[in-house]
Structure 1
Amino acid sequence: MKSGLYLYIKRPNTCFFHTNKMKGSKDNHVLVLFLFSLAFAESSNQNFLQNLQRNVDEYRTSHFSWNIQNLDHANYKSLRAIEDYTDRAFREFLLNRSPEFKHLLGSERVATDKNITNGKNGETPHEKLQMIDKKRDEQLPQTMEYAYRANMTQLMPYEEPMVYAKNDVETARLMKRAVPQRMAMLIARAHRNKRPPERRRQKREVNITLQRMANKMHQWFSIAGSMAVGFPKTDNSYFNNWNQNIVLFGKNKKDREEFENKFQRLPLQEMLEQLSLTDNFQHIFWPFNFDQAFMNQRLALLGMSGLSTIGHKQKERFYAELEKHQTVKIPVEEGRVILSFNHPDLVEGLNRSGLLEMSKEYVEAGRHLYTLEEQEHITSNVQAAMDLINSTNADLYRAIHQVIGCIAFYKAEHRGMSGGTISSALGVIWEDPSAFSEQTVDNYAAQIVHEFIHSSLFLADMVHGTYIDRSLLPKAKVYSPVRKELRDFDKTFHASYVTTGVTIFQSRIGDFENAQRYTGTLRAAVDGLIAMQKGAGVLNASGEAMLQAMDDVLTLIRME
């Protein structure tokens, strides 16, 4: 028998090698290494797929099952009115998934107290709203909603970045326009009310102080530019290196300590003003990165269907597959965000998901719909908001258009909430601008960014996982920077992430007043999440990396 190598594959993850008197041949050794690397790669790929499918299945069980369970509470009559074949096929699909739903459609009438809130007739709107809030805090699907807050006077955004960092070694060049106006004002103030003999000395001192601040500023901006997040483009590498790619300082505490010692935390107003001078800080926050949005969506599709995609019409393929599991029919078009004003099947699905709380009578009367004139006004504001987002951060704009299927504009039956997202209806943003007292472009843009961050966290949770045990979340209470009260761990985690991203975005467009509205307690909220994680261990490895990534961003922007 000739000397050689034989490879026996007993099962996908196990390979056995057999050599027959190889006599030190270099070619044989090279062949052994080559085949071993192939076997290792195959094993690694199998482990990656198994871990991915486990995460997707866990998310599906925890969140999408809620929609199926609530089929018997759905506003089923909207489905009865659907005429086209596509929606009839979807209705047929729903019928096959739930015997209770089939029974309801065959019934002549439905008891009026069987709505999504499980409420009783005769309750006041205030009582219903209290019941809704209590139920949403207790239910498994993560409902992320915001109450209306008046937007302040719109400020003009800067037209271009003021400071540019070429790479992580070269010091950024300070442009003439990069010196903040407040620095120039310091010089003017130094000249006032001074006795003539002291003016020259005071001017020299002020110039030295400003020069030190400017030198330190471009060092800071250069470091921020060098720490922009980036992601691999291959499925296996992206999935396995997720935890390392989203953090900024990594596990090396020395680098973080050196940065904190060199760059002290800044007062809030000063920090926000400096963030507005460059777009470098837009690229350190991973939800704003297009590549992660594209790859998370791609891996979610792979985990649900078992089929990989080369990117052609990936968004439409993702939502077509998602519909089978989520059972919420979302209008989708590749490269666009659909504005939904009258999709009965979407309203029915959002009712089941728990995001909307609309009774059958309210929907049948059409009180949730906007007039054509109102729709035109909303559409104009959304277009202007999207243009603002695109001019501020083109990568964020692309990510929003990749992840978000549609924005649903419907009037809430119960006053108090003006929009939100929910983990059981992934890809939909609900907005109710009728609850806004002011409808500025800045406010529309901030709310879109706000809800997109929630959606990015949901998608990352679906692919990588976030929590070890979801039953621990209601028991681990942490102070929320938005509601200013103790909330479940996941809700404070989401609120902190959203506040971080929206603060960076609003600072860049110059909306300082709104940027600092919730930022004052953000640092304390993140410290509370870190302390709770150390004590209770709520997060898995991916969730812990996401928490560290948020903490790294706050450190890098020097938040006090």
Structure 2
Amino acid sequence: MKSEVTCGRLGALPAFCTLEKIESNRLTLADFAGYRQAADYFNALDDLQSVKFPRPADVTTSPFLSFDTESPDVAAIVNSIIESAELPITATLSSVAHHRIQPISQALEDALKDLASFDERAEALVRHLVASVILVDISGCEGGSFWHALGVVWLSPGIAWSVEKYAESLLHESVHQATFLDDMVNRIFSVGPDAMAASDSLIISPIREVRRRFDFTLHATAVAIVLARYLDYRQSIDRASRMLNGASTSLREMSRKRQFLTEYGNDVLDELARYHRGTVTDLGY
């Protein structure tokens, strides 16, 4: 039998994903850029990053949706997508067909409402961390985030995507954004990407179910546990169970390679393990 979840359907989130910690991290970054409030986080990112947000200056609500792959700001991010080693070599990128713009925009609006119904903190994660969503069409790909473009998410929604799939994708990328931000402010990893990409350093990912770089797998583990709660809410029991089982394996493997983590990073890993145990208990898996 499932235990009562008293702190919302997301449960007792790992510290770096709590709204309190995110606000603290946003304020730290804003202060570094010369601003005084966490609300200026997106302005700070615009000043600090080479990639600029593709949204009008007078737009204050987030996320702003961009379908214009020809604008200079969007083109810079699109080039990052094209050059990403994460994309299949055969992937081709194009603009979203004009007749799909309105349905996609409506679906994303409905997805935010769905996340709020699931747990208000889920919607808040998106609005606090995602300034812009770039919509593109890349066959065989669904979306992503980049460490060098905090605040920006790209999605390639399939024609058959449901509102729940849009919601899942927004939540997925927001957890990545929270992890990127926490690493930027507090430093989770003690070594660089090359060391974590060595063949004997790869960890099985709970989402792709293949061995990936240590930092990629830590990201994916956080995503998998959060998504398991949303998937359970949506009665996708098999997927939720598979993600939790995969996260268990990833956590076990990462715990044997703690040398890749700072002291703070070790606390993050312990928090993920605690959150995983709590999720398994809360959901009754």
How does the TM-score come out when normalised to structure 1?
A: 0.45
**In the alignment, is residue 318 of structure 1 matched against residue 44 of structure 2?**
yes
Give the C-alpha shift of residue 396 in structure 1. Answer: 2.3
**Pairing 1:349–2:76 present:** yes
Output the CA distance in 2 between the equivalents of 1:518 and 1:553.
13
Query: CA 1:437–1:515 in 2, change beyond 3 Å: closer, same or farther?
Result: farther
Which residue is 2:211 aligned to?
486
Give me the whole-angstrom Cα distance separating, in 1, the residues matched to 2:67 and 2:117: 27
Cα offsets for 1:207-253 (capped at 9, x unmatched): xxxxxx6xxx6xx53xx64xx6xxxxxxxxxxxxxxxxxxxxxxxxx
Identify the residue that residue 391 of structure 1 maps to in structure 2. 117
Matched, 1:378 2:100: no
Cα gap change, 1:557 to 1:406, in 2 (>3 Å): same
- Amino acid of the structure 2 residue aligned with 1:397: E
Q: Could you tell me whether the CA contact under 8 Å between 1:406 and 1:428 is conserved in 2?
A: yes
| 1:355 to 1:542, Cα distance in 2 relative to 1, 3 A | farther
Matching of residue 293 in structure 1 with residue 22 in structure 2: yes
Deviation at 1:357, TM superposition (A): 4.3
Determine which structure has more spread, i.e. the larger CA radius of gyration: 1
State how far apart, in whole Å, the 2-side matches of 1:375 and 1:280 are. Answer: 31
CA distance 1:288–1:544, change in 2 (3 Å): closer
Query: Residue in 2 aligned with 1:273?
Result: none
The amino acid across from 1:521 in the alignment is: G
SS class of match (1:356): helix
Equivalent AA in structure 2 for residue 331 of structure 1: P
Q: Does 1:328 align with 2:51?
A: yes
Distance 1:539 1:287, change over 3 A: closer
- How far does residue 280 in structure 1 lie from its aligned partner after superposition? 5.2
**Any idea what SS the aligned residue of 1:481 has?**
coil
Cα distance in 2 for residues equivalent to 1:320 and 1:437: 32
How much has 1:554 moved relative to structure 2?
Answer: 1.2
The alignment partner of 2:137 has SS state of: coil
Cα distance change on mapping 1:466 and 1:288 into 2, 3 Å? closer
Match of residue 153, structure 2, among 429, 448, 473: 429
Q: Is the 8 A contact 1:405 1:427 kept in 2?
A: yes
1:513 Cα shift? 3.7
> Does residue 192 of structure 2 align to residue 472 of structure 1?
no
* One-letter code aligned to 1:293: I
Tell me how far apart the structure 2 counterparts of residues 528 and 549 of structure 1 sit (CA, whole Å): 15
Once superposed, what is the RMSD of the aligned Cα atoms?
A: 2.3
Listed one character per residue, the Cα deviations across residues 320-360 of structure 1 (whole Å, up to 9, x for unaligned) are 323xxx211113533321001005223322144x32349xx
Q: CA deviation at 1:302?
A: 2.0
* Contact kept? 1:392, 1:509, Cα under 8 Å: no
Unpaired segments of 5 or more residues in structure 2?
85-92
Alignment-derived partner of residue 172 in structure 1: none
Shift of 1:417: 1.8
Say whether 1:525 aligns with 2:250: yes
The answer as to whether partners of 2:30 and 2:37 remain within 8 angstroms in 1 is no
Give the secondary structure class of the aligned counterpart of 1:425: coil
| CA apart distance, 1:530 | 0.7
* SS of equivalent to 1:407: strand
What is the SS of the residue equivalent to 1:510? coil
- 1:539 matched to 2:261: yes
CA distances 1:268-320 after superposition (whole Å, capped 9, x unpaired): xxxxxxxxxxx2543434455322222211111223x2x35134x52443233
Whether the aligned pair in 1 keeps the contact of 2:115 and 2:123 (CA below 8 Å) is yes
Deviation readout 1:75-119 (Å, 9 max, x if unpaired): xxxxxxxxxxxxxxxxxxxxxxxxxxxxxxxxxxxxxxxxxxxxx
- 1:506 is displaced (CA, Å) by 1.9
Distance in 2, Cα, partners of 1:438 & 1:342: 22
Match of 1:462 in 2: 184
Q: In 2, are the aligned partners of 1:382 and 1:441 still within 8 Å (CA)?
A: yes
Question: Is residue 453 of structure 1 aligned with residue 175 of structure 2?
Answer: yes
Report the AA paired with residue 540 of structure 1: T
* Cα-to-partner distance string for 1:159-192 (whole Å, 9 max, x where unaligned): xxxxxxxxxxxxxxxxxxxxxxxxxxxxxxxxxx
1:553 to 270, 275, 281: 275
The Cα of 1:368 is off from its aligned counterpart by 1.8
Contact between 2:145 and 2:176, CA under 8 Å: does it hold in 1? yes
User: Secondary structure, in 3 states, of the residue corresponding to 2:254?
Assistant: helix
Alignment check: 8 A CA contact 1:336 1:401 kept: yes
Question: Aligned residue for 1:416?
Answer: 140
* 8 Å contact from structure 1 (residues 370, 411) kept in 2: yes
Match of 2:87 in 1: none
